[in-house]
Structure 1
């Protein structure tokens, strides 16, 4: 029995289990229990071995589990990904190092707050200066709506704090050998906090009830446009290529196919690209036909997925006029997402493509033209957006469009809470490896800012959620023939505490960790002074 206990308490077993569960909690697999257990095991390892071993093996653990979890998820070539992981792993290790150097293990119950505070600070600092929240462990909890609701109070930082505090609490209790007399007070306090959070979340979700008269039917439209890429490649090279719909952004076949895109963008009207132009126009006709079908089925608001209307800039005026006439005839609000090719010789300073969403009203007018504000690194250029989220006032609530990656930026999306957005429309384009992780990230923006979220997406799962993050409907791109989403969505948003107090939790965490760091430095300074004095005495 003692041998078995020693085996279970082996720090290197804890490191392995930490890596295993952190990988399961990554964007590729999103097992919600992954970060809860992964952080706990990893923290145990970091506390139980010598500091140099903790740093070296901890870094390697982060790097390996990160590589497995992020491969094919991040749209960057492997060499760049390997370099980026060095930075990501080093930053991910910082909360553990602060916990170790601050001697949190010996500080009792209050010491359990150091690791979660440092963890929240690390995540928060990553979002400053246009940072997104892809790596936040809060994104993994979409399977636990009761936990997600704390985002309406503290943002995603509340979710991350709870997970990291759990890891710290488990390690504190283990250090006390799970003896009730030692952990009673802290255990009751922590248990009460988690009980209140869960009760708040359960009540918040279960008490929701919508009257059908206070909802609007919204449709999301997308299609499989791999035929366009395949045709462009055939026109350029005279060879056939087959691209699987679930191909990753870094797959060999897609990388090969993309070789033909630049020649097409530079001169799309070349005679050799006549088949490609026919494919573009055929897809555009299909989009308009699908939109008419959705309108005939009662949709009042229709959203195209990101850049699914792939056109050449000389076509844009005609496409808009066609869409105006359709919106007026069918009496719909149309959020038409276009990828507009800008022909001409390649120049890194010149935009090759405009990624935009055009809002059309039932009067047949253009209400807004929105350019994507946050381009994906290594995959997109800056589109020249003014970084302002528009608000379109309609009989069906106040609507705001953003595009895909935009919704990964909590600081950017705070605008919606300030301007009173009721429904956020997020035309998107994903790939299999990040499905459905990326979709549910946007639902957290809805919980934070009290709005419904509609996210039609190509090559992944389209979803619609209410202001509480409750799933209203979804469509799997790979199993759905029509690839359309139709849902009844509440037309009113709600006020949230987070809208009022903002990032109070991470600000408090920053102050707390700053105090801990100053305390650590003062202790080091005080130790050095007596040593210097002793050397002087010996010298005399």
Structure 2
């Protein structure tokens, strides 16, 4: 006689052992607290990025589906609010809506793990969360205007150079996958699984670290260098210009329509300071000089004269000169443009680039076409983007040797934003020079080493804001540069395949 019994299924999506529920709630505040220090802000702690997914994933596995997902969404909302506050960005409608939407996206890997892992075998189940983390990080840069400014775990690991080398293969999504894999494995052990999965996870992580360390130790960058100087106008003339512009309550449109006598003297003082700094650094041996984003502020009627003065200086000093220009126009709604202009030693304008990604909610510039210009020079292939553009990996994937990034941040966010540039340098295989008007300027080589750095608010001199770096003139070709976001798409495909597999009904077995 055959007795047909119920299938040997894992626990359902709503049923969990009663003995576990009493230990659920401490995990949520602890995980949320750890996540606050792993958001890509000035108070980041690298290890917190590895801790919070373990705790929050445990919370979702021990919770019912719907309330668990809502609490994880609330935790990510809290992290987003914390990031906005610590970075002094300021809330507006776009930032608020973005925080809610990003938190919802970041909840998806936890929800997928909660729904799919009980219906999968151990090995494929272990891939749900890491693939979900990498896929969501990638989707954030594709469907949202925030790039990697928020929501990327790779930026929290910018100082761990052996680990950071993995982004030269996978893009930033590889770091998120590794962190997710550790969280998934830790929870399997928590559930009483065998140590074989932990050994596999450890082997993968150690392999990445060993390979990254070997690249740094045995394949150092071999190239001649060029002296590059980043110059920012002194604080005396900068503060005077700020005071002048603040008098126009109607903003950029009012500045553009103002009489020349009301604004031109303060603007000219900043330009003269930058031109003098360029002469000084050229005389000291610099071959490339970069000014910050919006270093020159000019009305549309005066733009030609400002650029002509920079061209004369580049020609007389014999340098490649990259200038950031903020043009004030009376044309609504942008009332101007945000440009970066590269001038060669003959005084010829080689390119004019417009910012492709204005900051959501605070910049109304018409975006540029997103085509990153690359110019061949005796010092390698030179490319440039502007500030926030560098937070979009697809835009930064260009064949270049040196990437110039004129930028303009503020005290609370300057260092955190510049730290993230190390990830872009390793991804692209080029040296990256980020000259920040009011933040931290830094130069990185293609392996993420800091070649030079300068803090605008920490320098002792009010009238000399300069960073000098000797930068390799030859970059390297990375795997990520060749295959693009293939790893991210594989993670998306893996998550889709696991979802289909988990949705299939299981066969009932005879006992």
Specify if TM > 0.5: yes
Equivalent residue number for residue 537 of structure 1: none
Corresponding position of 1:264: 254
Check 1:9–1:283 CA distance in 2 against 1; reply closer, same or farther (3 A cut). Answer: farther
User: Does 1:199 pair with 2:210?
Assistant: yes
Secondary structure, counterpart of 1:102 in structure 2: helix
Alignment of 1:258-337 (within 5 A): 259-262=249-252, 264-269=254-259, 274=262, 276-337=263-324
The 1:153–1:76 alpha-carbon spacing in structure 2 relative to 1, beyond 3 Å, is same
Q: Residue 232 of structure 1 contacts residue 260 of structure 1 at CA under 8 Å; is this kept in 2? A: no
Q: Distance in 2 between matches of 1:305 and 1:16?
A: 41
Per the normalisation by structure 1, the TM-score is 0.84
Shift of 1:328: 1.4
How far apart are residue 7 of structure 1 and its match? 11
Structure 1 residues 400 and 104, CA gap change in structure 2 (3 angstroms): farther
Equivalent position to 1:360, from 343, 353, 363: 343
Mapped to 2, the partners of 1:105 and 1:47 lie a distance apart of 13
Q: Does structure 1 retain, via aligned residues, the 8 Å contact 2:94–2:361?
A: no
- 1:176 aligns to what? 192
CA shift for structure 1 position 436: 1.9
Match of 1:133 among 145, 148, 156: 148
Is the Cα contact below 8 Å between 1:426 and 1:456 reproduced in 2? yes
Aligned residues of 2:256 and 2:300 also touching (Cα < 8 A) = no
In the TM superposition, residue 106 of structure 1 has moved relative to its aligned partner by 6.9
Structure 2 stretches lacking a partner, 5+ long: 1-18
Question: Equivalent of 1:143, from 146, 155, 159?
Answer: 159
Q: Secondary structure at the match of 1:433?
A: coil
1:458 aligns with 2:458: no
Shift of 1:47: 0.6
Q: What is the TM-score of this pair, normalised by structure 2?
A: 0.89
Deviations 1:35-80 (A, max 9, x none): 1101111111011112232123222222223212222537453454
- Give the match's secondary structure for 1:69: helix
Equivalent pairs counted in the alignment come to: 481
1:442 Cα deviation (Å)? Answer: 2.3
User: Is structure 2 residue 485 aligned with structure 1 residue 506?
Assistant: no
Please state how far the C-alpha of 1:474 moved relative to its aligned partner. 0.5
5+ residue gaps, structure 1: 1-5, 237-258, 528-540
Check conservation: 2:46, 2:157, Cα contact below 8 A.
yes
Counterpart-to-counterpart distance in 2, 1:84 and 1:156: 21
Q: Distance in 2 between matches of 1:410 and 1:304?
A: 23
Residues 1:188 and 2:199 aligned together: yes
CA–CA distance in structure 2, aligned partners of residues 278 and 301 of structure 1: 28
Aligned equivalents of 2:367, 2:136: Cα separation in 1? 30
- More helix by percentage: 1
Give the direction of change, closer, same or farther, for the CA distance of 1:477–1:111 in structure 2 (3 Å limit): same
SS in structure 1 of the partner of residue 420 of structure 2:
helix
Cα distance change on mapping 1:318 and 1:458 into 2, 3 Å: same
**Distance between the aligned counterparts of 1:322 and 1:84, measured in 2?**
41
Answer 1 or 2: higher relative contact order, Cα 8 Å, separation at least 6: 2
Task: From the superposition, tell whether residues 228 and 72 of structure 1 become closer, same or farther in structure 2 (CA, over 3 Å).
Answer: farther
Contact 1:76 1:378 in 2 (8 A): no
Cα shift at 1:500 = 2.2
Structure 1 residues 356 and 422: alpha-carbon distance in aligned structure 2, compared to 1, 3 A threshold: same
Contact residue 340 and residue 354 of structure 2 kept, 8 A = yes
- In 1, Cα distance between the equivalents of 2:252 and 2:281? 34
- Secondary structure at the residue paired with 1:11? coil
Q: Show CA shifts across 1:150-178 (max 9, x none).
A: 0011111111101111111111111117x
**Residue 500 to residue 78, structure 1, CA distance change in 2 (3 Å):** closer
The residue number in structure 2 matching 1:160 is 176
Q: How does 1:475-514 map to 2 (within 5 A)?
A: 475-480=454-459, 481=461, 482-514=464-496
Does structure 1 residue 398 correspond to structure 2 residue 381? yes
Describe the shift of the 1:61–1:204 C-alpha distance in structure 2 as closer, same or farther (beyond 3 A). same
Q: 2:332 aligns with which of 347, 355, 367?
A: 347
1:285-310 CA-partner distances (Å, limit 9, x unpaired): 11111111111111100000001111
3-state secondary structure, aligned to 1:192: helix
CA distance in 1, matches of 2:405, 2:504: 49
1:215 to 225, 229, 234: 225
Please name the residue that 2:39 is paired with.
26
Distance (Å, rounded) in 1 between the aligned partners of 2:172 and 2:501: 28
Is contact 1:24–1:31 with CA below 8 Å preserved after alignment?
Answer: yes
Q: 1:360 Cα deviation (Å)?
A: 0.8
Question: What residue is the counterpart of 1:240 in the other structure?
Answer: none
Deviations 1:308-366 (A, max 9, x none): 11111222222222222211111100001111111x3x632xx4121111111111211
CA distance 1:89–1:384, change in 2 (3 Å): closer
Query: What SS is found at the alignment partner of 1:364?
Result: coil
Deviations 1:70-126 (A, max 9, x none): 225374534543333222221111110010000359742442211010111111122
Q: Is the 8 A contact 1:474 1:485 kept in 2?
A: yes
CA separation in 1, counterparts of 2:293 and 2:159?
Answer: 26
* Two-structure CA RMSD over aligned residues (Å): 2.4
In 2, Cα distance between equivalents of 1:64 and 1:78: 16
1:250 is matched with none
For 1:447 and 1:72, how far apart are their aligned partners in 2?
A: 27
Q: Is the alpha carbon distance of 1:75 and 1:478 closer, same or farther for their aligned partners in structure 2, counting shifts above 3 Å?
A: same
Is 311-320 or 147-156 further displaced after alignment? 311-320
- Show structure 1 runs of 4+ deviating over 4 A: 6-9, 208-211
